[in-house]
Amino acid sequence: MALGILWLGLALLGALQTHAQDSTPNLIPAPPLLLVPVEPDFQNEQFQGKWYFLGLAGNGFNKEKHRRMKMYIANYELNEDNSYNVTSTVAWNQTCHPSTKIFLPNLHLGQFNLGNIERYTGIQNYTSKVVTTDYNQFAILYFKKVHDNQEYIKVILYGRTKEVPSVPKAIFISFIKSLGLTDDHIIFPIPNDECMDK
Query: What pTM does this model have?
Result: 0.84
Query: In this predicted structure, which of 23-37, 76-90, 91-105, 163-177 has the lowest mean pLDDT?
Result: 23-37
| DSSP label of 185 | G
Q: Specify which residues 73 forms β-bridges with.
A: 52, 89
Reply yes or no on whether the pLDDT at 40 is more than 90.
yes
Q: In 3D, which of 165, 174, 160, 101 has the Cα closest to residue 131? A: 174
124 or 198: which leads in pLDDT: 124
Residue 22, H or E segment? helix 2-23
Domains and CATH numbers, the chain: 35-187 (2.40.128.20)
Within 8 A by CB and 6+ apart from 184, the residues are 62, 63, 64
Yes or no: say if 73 and 96 are a contact pair by the CB < 8 Å rule.
no
Q: Give the best-scoring range by mean pLDDT among 64-73, 76-85, 110-119.
A: 76-85
Instruction: Look at residue 148 and give its three-state secondary structure.
Output: coil
Reply yes or no on whether the pLDDT at 3 is more than 80.
no
Segment 99-111 shows an average pLDDT of: 93
CA separation for the pair 143, 125 (Å, rounded): 10
Neighbours of 84 (CB within 10 A): 23
Q: Which residues of 113-122 are buried (b: 16+ CB within 10 A; e: fewer)?
A: bbeeeeeeee
